[in-house]
């Protein structure tokens, strides 16, 4: 086994140990706004979302480089919020080597045990081999998660996301993702 392979495996084990050691149980968040059975969550614990699914699920052009591919996504949501809006950062990687890193804002709208999380962000896209050309680096992202929240704060859900350059480049093909998500409370940045 090469030195690089050993180092890679060791770093994965170290990162997993650190993340698992940071997992916490979520406390009941304060409500910034209530309407009927809905509440807009305020200050909360931090959350880490892991997702897996498909990139480019809406095939516009039927070209070889416009086909869906597997995607994994990581997203960190800080629990510190201002009027129910908090910061988030994330990254997606697809099977063709494309990468999109982003930062943005999110809110949690809850009707126990369901949580809807809209997210808006801005980031940079790097096209992989034989993947969809989104016409430029800078892109906007809009996403919505629908999750079932367990008593521990752990959430299982589905995410639909759209990446688009909003017309700031010559072309604006955009891309959509559909993912299954696992979100858990974490004390990574206490």
Model pLDDT, residue 170 = 79
CA distance 173 to 165: 8
pLDDT given at position 10: 43
**Of 72-86, 88-102, 161-175, which range is least confident?**
161-175
User: pTM above the 0.85 mark?
Assistant: no
Number of domains composing the chain: 1
Residue 180 has pLDDT above 90, yes or no: yes
Separation of alpha carbons 94 and 54, rounded Å: 8
- What confidence score (pLDDT) does residue 58 get? 81
Structural domain range at position 115: 3-186
**CA-CA distance, 184 to 152, in Å (whole number)?**
9
**Which of 188, 179, 189 lies closest to 71, judged by CA?**
179
40-68 tens-digit pLDDT: 888 889 999 999 999 888 876 666 567 78
CATH of the domain at 76: 2.40.160.20
Residue 146, classed as helix, strand or coil, is strand
Q: What is the pLDDT of residues 97-149, one digit of tens each?
A: 888 999 999 999 999 899 999 999 999 988 777 666 677 788 899 999 999 99
For residue 91, name the pLDDT band (cuts at 50, 70, 90): very high
């Amino acid at each position: 086994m090469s030195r690089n392979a050993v180092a890679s495996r060791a770093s994965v084990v170290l990162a997993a140990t650190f993340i698992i050691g940071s997992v916490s149980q979520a406390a009941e968040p304060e409500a910034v706004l209530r309407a009927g059975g809905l509440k807009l969550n305020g200050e909360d614990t931090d959350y880490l979302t892991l997702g897996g699914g498909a990139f480019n699920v809406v095939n516009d052009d039927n070209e070889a480089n416009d086909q869906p591919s597997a995607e994994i996504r990581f997203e960190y949501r800080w629990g510190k919020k201002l009027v129910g809006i908090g910061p988030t950062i994330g990254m997606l990687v697809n099977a063709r080597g494309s990468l999109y890193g982003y930062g943005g804002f999110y809110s949690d709208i809850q009707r126990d045990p369901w949580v809807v999380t809209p997210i808006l962000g801005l980031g940079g896209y790097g096209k992989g081999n034989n993947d969809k050309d989104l016409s430029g680096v800078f892109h906007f992202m809009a996403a919505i998660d629908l999750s079932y929240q367990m008593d521990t704060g752990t959430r299982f859900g589905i995410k639909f996301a759209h990446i688009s350059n909003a017309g700031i480049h010559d072309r604006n093909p955009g891309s959509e993702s559909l993912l299954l998500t696992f979100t858990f409370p974490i004390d990574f940045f206490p």
